[in-house]
Amino acid sequence: MKKLINDPNNVVAESVEGFGLAHSDLVTVHPDPLFVSRSDAPVRGKVALVSGGGSGHEPLHAGYVGLGMLDSAVPGAMFTSPTPDQIIPATLAVDGGVGVLHIVKNYTGDVLNFETAAEMAAASGVDVRTVLVNDDVAVEDSLYTAGRRGVGGTVFVEKIAGAAAERGDSLDDVTAVAQRVIDNVRSMGVALAACTVPHAGTPSFELTDQEIEIGIGIHGEPGRHRIAMESADGITSRLLEPIVADLSLERGDKVLIMVNGMGGTPASELYIVYRRAVQLLGEQGIEVRRSLVGNYITALEMQGASISILRLDDELLELWDAPVHTAALRWGA
């Protein structure tokens, strides 16, 4: 294993420390228990958004802390849920007096630990709601999940709910818009090559030189099937078609699309996938109104990509376009 790390035990702490140094205008890093908050938190009178999960998916979640998005992010160990001991102070620290929304990717450990933390925070008098992101159409249950996994759609939930909170929506309304995003977003990914978790020291799964895995999870969990390598255009169809079917997208629908790199994929390849996705959607009369192409939710240095599609309505589009200033997404501010 060759990685730019020191001790595998310190990877997350040192990385988050570096993140805090690089973005000290945006965030404060709380080292023990570890969480990252907006430097101006708590924002009085604003609903606060908290998310978190295993590390290794950067820029998710700390890269999305800032104006118009998250108030705090809770990094667990690599590919390991954060603990209630972290989530509770991350919740209390950002409560602006009008409630906190927990945005949780649907993995068993995350769900349990956020649930425990929400109960404890509620006992301290904070009004906490939770939404579960479960946008991955690849599989129903999997290695770490009952039901569908939460993947790239999480970025859309955090951005759009964050904009709703920033404009002053109530906890009920922010929760409702987050849920509306979840109801209208689907994702699917592909792996060409696995990543190596520092602690493990060996690749998280094996693919031969000729194989790819369709429907891969962001921890290398099994997907739908392994197939022989094929063209980018072919792979794009395999990712896109189940999403379009599951969302029941129809001619005239407007969408936001993300073509996301898993961490080890050149940008040039992501744009080739994006090109084909736009062509395929266009052939079906589905209009791409906004897009993201890049590394937004990764699996360390995994080679591969995922596609996420959100069906837009006017309000979701307006909230997407609202100002955001975080380490990984910035416009209008």
Binding flag, residue 295, its own copies (CB under 8 A): yes
Residue 196 burial (CB count, 10 A) = 17
Nearer to its own copies, 37 or 298 (CB): 298
Q: Can you tell me which of 59, 66, 153, 220 binds its own copies, judged by CB under 8 A?
A: 59
CB of residue 201 to its own copies, shortest distance in Å: 11
Question: Nearest Cα to 193, choosing from 185, 181, 203, 201?
Answer: 203
Q: Can you tell me which of 56, 82, 89, 152 binds its own copies, judged by CB under 8 A?
A: 56
| Active site amino acids | 57, 219
Binding flag, residue 291, its own copies (CB under 8 A): yes
Residue 194 burial (CB count, 10 A) = 23
Distances (CA, A) of 80 to 102, 144, 178, 310: 17, 10, 24, 27
Binding flag, residue 9, its own copies (CB under 8 A): no
Cβ proximity of 46 and 7 under 8 Å: no
Segment 66-95, which members bind its own copies (CB under 8 A)?
none
Sheet holding 48-55, edge to edge: 27-31, 34-38, 72-78, 48-55, 100-105, 128-133
**Two tokens at 204?**
């998280």
Q: Can you tell me which of 36, 41, 54, 58 binds its own copies, judged by CB under 8 A?
A: 58
Q: Can you tell me which of 112, 146, 323, 331 binds its own copies, judged by CB under 8 A?
A: 331
**Two tokens at 5?**
């790390």
Binding flag, residue 286, its own copies (CB under 8 A): no
The C-alpha atoms of residue 159 and residue 60 are separated, in whole angstroms, by 12
Question: Nearest Cα to 196, choosing from 284, 79, 21?
Answer: 79
Nearer to its own copies, 125 or 206 (CB): 206
Nearer to its own copies, 319 or 328 (CB): 328
| Binding-residue pattern over the window 210 to 229 for its own copies, x denoting contact by CB under 8 A | x-x----------------x
Cβ proximity of 219 and 257 under 8 Å: no
Binding flag, residue 268, its own copies (CB under 8 A): yes
**What residues form DSSP beta bridges with 37?**
28, 72
Segment 161-220, which members bind its own copies (CB under 8 A)?
192-193, 195, 209-210, 212
Question: Interface with its own copies by CB under 8 A: which residues?
Answer: 2-6, 11-12, 14-19, 21-22, 55-56, 58-59, 63, 192-193, 195, 209-210, 212, 229, 231-233, 235, 263-276, 278, 291, 293, 295, 298, 300-301, 303, 305, 330-331
